[in-house]
Each structure stands twice: as C-alpha cells, then as structure tokens.
Copies of this chain bind each other. A is one copy, B any other.
Amino acid sequence: MSHTLGIRQAQKQKTRQALLDAALALLEEQSLSSLGLREVTRAVGVAPTAFYRHFRSTADLGVALVEEALGSLHPMIRTTVSATGDPEERVARAIDLIARHVDGYPAHVRFIARERHGGVQPVREAIREQLARFAQEVEVELAEDPVSRGWGEGDLLMLAHLYVDQMLSTASLFLEVLEGPEEERADRTRHVTQLATRQMRLIGLGRQHWLD
C-alpha cells in the first residue's frame, strides 16, 4: 500500500514541512494574522514565490498547521479519559498526559490556544471542527462509564465539552510555566498540577451527583 515517493515529490514535501516548521517557530512571538509570506520563506531559505507551490496564503498554511497540531491527537484522547482505574488515578493520569504533551509540543499548544479565537476565520473554523470531534470522542468514552447510566441526550456532550475546555485551559497554564524562568519551573508545575487536579476532581464530583 505504501508507495515510495519519487525524488520529486519527496523534495516537495520536505520544503513544505520546512515552511510549516518555520511558520510555527515564527508564531511564538506573533499571531497568524500578522505572519508574512516572505517572512516564512526567508526563514526557510527559499524564494518568496516558492510559497505558492504549497499554500494559497498564510491562512491556508494556518489550516494545515491545525491538522498537524490536532489531527494526530485523536488516538491519545481516548486513552486520556478512558474509564480504567479509580477516579483519582484517572485524573492524575490525564493531567500527566497533558503536561507531557505540552512539554513535547509546546509550539503546537501555543498555536492552538492563540488561534482558537484568533483573527483568521478559516483557522478558527478548523480548530472549532477538530475540538468538536474531540468532544464527540470524549462523549463516546464517557458513555461507557457506569456513572453515566441514565444520562440525558445533551448531558453527556455538555460534560465532554467541559472536559475539552478544561484540558485546553490546563495545557495553556502548563505552557505559561514553560515560558517562565527555569528556576521557578518546578514549583509552578506543581502548583498548576495541583490546581488542575482539584478542578478535575470537582467536576468529577458534580458528575457523580448529576442525577439528584
């Protein structure tokens, strides 16, 4: 099934990826709506016109970045909220997974947090779609938990959205820690972990007593 790409196409994908990487790096200090096409090509070391061989515009590149940042995250989501182990352990596992992800892909996390409400409409739309998919997958996982026995139609989805928002908020907090001075990192990581743990725990309690 996997056909070896020709030298031609392989080289093209390589510069395409270089453009995406350079853009992501440049977006650490600005928003997508101010990212220039020449700025990106300059960072890669190619002519400005080469950009058009891969993307119609920087907004188009932004949509591609959304796929890269969120598309590969779906398999992880299910295990994050999977219903194995006691509640307390599940919370700890989920937060640990978030922290690891932020550590591994800080630029991706920043990009999503920044452009979710950013100034480029197609990118906002793409993020909205992906997050809605996440919520649906979380919903499926939540439905399998005995605690959700007898829940109404919209109730599961509203809890799923609450969880997704909470994950993003927590990821953003971990990112802020990562951006701060290194000597405060350990303390602040503990602090954020504690805060997120309590919030998750409280939401879990509300979940348990939903049908009262």
Interface residues, chain A, CB within 8 Å of chain B?
Answer: 27, 29-34, 110, 113-114, 116-119, 154-155, 158-159, 161-162, 165, 169, 172, 194-195, 198-199, 201-210, 212
> With the chains together, A113 CA to B119 CA distance in Å?
11
Closest residue of B by beta carbon distance from A111: B117
Contacting pair A198 B155 (CB below 8 A):
yes
Closest residue of B by beta carbon distance from A175: B117
Overall SS of chain A's interface: helix
Q: Give the chain B neighbours of A113 by CB distance below 8 A.
A: 117
Q: Give the chain B neighbours of A27 by CB distance below 8 A.
A: 119
Contacting pair A205 B198 (CB below 8 A):
no
Contacting pair B114 A117 (CB below 8 A):
yes
> With the chains together, A204 CA to B210 CA distance in Å?
10
Closest residue of B by beta carbon distance from A196: B158
State how many angstroms separate the Cβ of A52 from the closest Cβ of chain B: 21
> With the chains together, A90 CA to B212 CA distance in Å?
18
Count chain B CB atoms within 10 A of each CB in A30, A110, A155 and give the residue with the most.
A30
Closest residue of B by beta carbon distance from A162: B199
Count chain B CB atoms within 10 A of each CB in A119, A195, A202 and give the residue with the most.
A119
Closest residue of B by beta carbon distance from A36: B34
State how many angstroms separate the Cβ of A209 from the closest Cβ of chain B: 5
Contacting pair A162 B119 (CB below 8 A):
no
> With the chains together, A194 CA to B157 CA distance in Å?
12
Q: Give the chain B neighbours of A212 by CB distance below 8 A.
A: 205
